[in-house]
Copies of this chain bind each other. A is one copy, B any other.
Amino acid sequence: MLLEEVIQVARGEVEVDLLLKDARVVNVFSGDIHHTSVAISRTRVVGLGEYRAKRVLDLEGRYVAPGLIDSHVHIESSMVSVAEYARTVVPHGTTTVIMDPHEIANVLGLDGIRYMLESSKGNPLSVYLMVPSCVPATHLETTGATLTADDIAPLLRDKWVVGLGEMMNFPGVLFRDPHVLAKLEAAEGKRIDGHAPGLSGRDLAAYVAAGIGSDHECTTVSEALEKLRLGMYIMIREGTAARNLRDLLPLVTSKNARRCMFATDDRHPGDLIEEGHIDHLIRTAISLGLDPVTAIQMATLNPAEYFGLNDKGAVAPGRRADLIVLDNLEDFHVEMVFRGGELVAEEGSMVSEGPESFSATLRSSMNVAPLRVEDFQIRAEAKRARIIGIVPHQLTTEQVIEKPTIRNGVVVADTERDILKMAVIERHLASGRIGLGLVRGLGLKWGAIASSVAHDSHNIIVVGAADEDMLAAAEEIVRMRGGLVAVGRGKTLASLPLPIAGLMSEHSTVEVDRAMKRLLKATAEMGSTLEDPFMTLSFLALPVIPTLKLTDKGLVNVMQFKLVPLFVQ
């Protein structure tokens, strides 16, 4: 809207488009709730109070709050397209997310990031981008792309790009890796998000002094308080795997709440459907005793201020009419969602289905050299081997040194002792590189499971009781252009194709969730006692979390940050 028109409409010289009458506005500026009407013209709120309007919607005393903002999310973790993600979270009241496409960037580089940006347009959700800062995450694995400061600098000038994504490489900052510093410098004047679990003292001061403004990895109040005191914004995260809300909520006081916000980071389809999105975090926080207006400020004005989204995060003249309507603040049940003045969702469902498809195109990400069953063979080079020991409910693993079962000079899976074979198949360059290892704790009694979701490089990870099943699982992944699969007894038991970069489905969140449930049913039948063996799988190739991991380059001792042989001589 032109300035002239805004002023004219706000003065009431002409009718506004829509008046939300008899509303209780949750005012994030004054911190109170007041009874008024909300006047909207085109995409903007133009006034609070009585106005002549083309259309009047009587809210009968319901609450109107700003649309919710997720301050940090990897949409890839929900395994659906951006459009479908929007359709899933918007009915929960989320109208803006700050997306860090770290996963797809590690697969497809700038093409992946641009694809996420392009496919964010035309959705009923405002999607801002933080440019992934750590592609690749390490040199101990083969990734699909390498992004330097020169690569990301042009992106940082895009209007939808609000900064540099979580700087996981904190050693690179502290030890002043010139490539890392160049990225920080390229982001000057924009936000730089942090990721520094457990960092403290002078090292934390240095990380903050380098310009890093937030952290979403805190697990305790004392950790969060130290970071807050040094000037970091604290994003309280409640995802699927990492859940910190209950532990961190005591941090929040009336004098520091302005520096706190909410984030989901990684949330699976089932949790989005069953619990919700940012609404779930607010609901939980309120049930734990947080003042509702403060909780709403943390999900609206605070991230809007942090990311410089000056037209969002409040119900006020000149701001975008991204609004939610609620019956009461305790249940925090979102009844209506307006985006840019238009009703887009009601009672948990989209009012219009939104775009079914989008024009952004993406090349296939699955580039795997032909596989043969011999590729999975492990020749016994010694008697004892380093076995990855899964710790239930943890991302960390143990290193177990034992004698694997050997037949005819090759190592075989031993389901009696729960030692399974594992492979990580490079899938970006078709190099034919395969890392082989052994794992305990998955519990499969037969068959194999495989996934192209394997942080952070997302090579194909396979675990199985027999080489033939492992081959079949890997080939099914390639055939699907990525995804998750469980095979056994000569057939595919369940699968979820993820053809978008091997990370995301082309189907709906509900369908993805159903496929996930079928996969988990299959793995349970195969004998796994883990709640979600695929989530466990997805972290077994991540060489930044201790102790022993497997990449396409081989076994990694994370504490030493180097490759180690499978066999102990």
Contacts and interface: CB of A to CB of B under 8 A. Distances in A.
Given A10-B209, A256-B29, A318-B211, A202 B49 contact: yes
A208 interface: yes
A7 B317 contact: no
Contacts of A291: 255
Interface in A220-258: 225, 228-231, 253-256, 258
A185 to B, nearest CB: 6
Contact of A47 (B27, B30, B49, B202): B202
Contacts of A32: 229, 253, 255-256
A333 interface: no
A317 B229 CA distance: 10
A44 B206 CA distance: 12
Q: Which of A46, A314, A317 has the most CB of B within 10 A?
A: A317
Interface residues of A, number: 58
A216 interface: no
B176 A317 contact: no
Interface in A41-64: 44, 46-49, 51
Given A10-B205, A176-B8, A202-B10, A185 B3 contact: yes
A173 B4 CA distance: 9
Contacts of A259: 29-30
B173 A256 contact: no
A565 interface: no
A25 to B, nearest CB: 8
- As for how many copies of this chain the complex holds, the number is 2
A177 to B, nearest CB: 10
A399 B240 CA distance: 73
Contacts of A10: 202, 205-206, 208-210
A378 B291 CA distance: 69
Contacts of A294: 255
Given A7-B206, A29-B256, A31-B255, A314 B231 contact: yes
A495 interface: no
A231 B184 contact: no
A224 to B, nearest CB: 10
B254 A7 contact: no
A203 B203 CA distance: 52
A145 interface: no
Contacts of A39: 205
A481 interface: no
Contacts of A174: 7, 11
A254 B257 CA distance: 10
Q: Which of A205, A225, A318, A319 has the most CB of B within 10 A?
A: A205
Contacts of A229: 25, 27, 29-30, 32, 34, 48, 316
B205 A47 contact: yes
Give me the 4 closest cross-chain CB pairs, A-B, nearest first. Answer: A31-B255, A47-B205, A254-B254, A231-B316
Given A31-B254, A32-B229, A32-B255, 5 more contacts: A8-B206, A10-B205, A32-B256, A46-B205, A209-B317
